[in-house]
Amino acid sequence: MTTTTLAPTAQPVAIPVGEALPWVIFAGLILMIAIYFVGAEQGATAIFKGMYVHEFVHDGRHLLGFPCH
């Protein structure tokens, strides 16, 4: 009869919050910019003239449930 002992070989890696925080803030800013262009880049809140941005993200607007037409 053999005895098998399973020893954990993988240890969890600690993620220091101080090192991850700038990347979390950066990703949040990129996400907010993307949400703006998908959801609010139209009409009075438009930065770019014309409907180019709106038409480019039009399917995304409908997918995310933003009011459109």
Contacts with Zn ion by CB under 5 A lie at 68-69
Task: Please say whether the beta carbons of 53 and 34 come within 8 A.
Answer: no
Q: How far is the CB of 32 from Zn ion (least distance, A)?
A: 22
List the structure tokens of 54.
């709106």
- CB nearer Zn ion, residue 25 or residue 59: 59
- CB nearer Zn ion, residue 49 or residue 69: 69
Closest C-alpha to 61, from 22, 35, 33, 27: 35
- CB nearer Zn ion, residue 33 or residue 68: 68
